[in-house]
Structure 1
């Protein structure tokens, strides 16, 4: 049994997949705390799809994917803001129009212009085929995100919780907005390799949502969410060796399972805890 369980570690591609998946899961988990607090779930979904044309153009011209993703993410956010300011459409409608248009453009570019980028990789990820260059890219993006969060997490927390108050005390909310969007764009590119564009949003939301059920202190969230993201990604990559199924799908399924366990059994905010409090209040009532 021990030899069977250790078998995946005898293959170099599995070691890279497990390590790379854990790194991506931790990165997305860290940023998911801010996405959850800010209420940017739909915007996170939009960014994960909007970076696709940037990645496609970067692949066509042989440029780093990260550069294309950042440009595409900035353009998408700018387009959303411009349309919203100059129309009667609500934010969710504008986001839906922009991100689907950019996602479609990316798919078109990939299908028309030959490159080393496969459509299935963009849509569903290919963590088992991760290369050394991809791991270095994730490491660089992760180090950048950790460094910025370590220096500015209190400012980012205040911006996400109450942008008006942050502005009133002299914080540059436009800069914080741009920094957070830039980090999300970079994380979306890193996660594309792991789970694909269709499931990136889950990695950018689920760990933070789970951590929010387990604690009411943001500092603890910044530890819990990356840990949960890394654990689910590493276990998903490991289990896919035996189950011979979609690695990205298994990672997201595990993250969702962890979320529902917390949803039911969280000590203070779980469903069962809420029912116990309700029953105790009913018994104490005259």
Structure 2
């Protein structure tokens, strides 16, 4: 672009006063052989404003689940809460009918790593740990987050796994810095998980989000520090490591082709935040 043309991001500023310095810095990293985001990955100010509204609703949905989740309820009841609250507030549950997924939310208990399908016959028991993964579309913009819930008298091993998973996410957030790399996040998470005797699922990771449910880049949590894509202001993605107490390997339920289980029947936990890279740091949009 010419220096004095309106910036491509739609900010209304001249290119030289807006994205020109960022684009030049990206090019320097590209010239050194680093993986850099395409312009399509970077969200514009107008898009960020709309995505924030979707994110606010997504957080409100999880807050609503937190108010009502209890021992003795079915996971189908969680699905009903998510669908009702989301639609009553003008949103659409993003998982519903996504590539054939039949429900509005993912509910994954104990040895289920992710993509558990709510069912009236799955009843939350005392001692369960459950991940509730909520994703929302509002006015065409997408958001995503998940929380772990400890139900009643949770075992020490389950309590510890959930705590370390939260610590992994926090360490990943601390490692996420503009002009760093996705591998910095992965290394912080994987190092802490392994130091505590856990493993990180390798083949399922985070993703870009905002204009679509799943966008580039794929966010691994097992790659080395300094590797993977450059973190550039305007990037938006999820940090959602899946931490297993045993092997990182898994299998997918043959009956529903969705629910992912630990290969060794060990416990698994996941916490998901959605973040925006800014010039002065990282903003958490959902948690």
Tell me which of the two structures has the higher relative contact order, counting C-alpha pairs closer than 8 angstroms and 6 or more residues apart: 1
Q: Give the structure-1-normalised TM-score.
A: 0.26
User: Could you tell me the TM-score, scaled by structure 2's length?
Assistant: 0.26
User: Higher helix share goes to which structure?
Assistant: 1
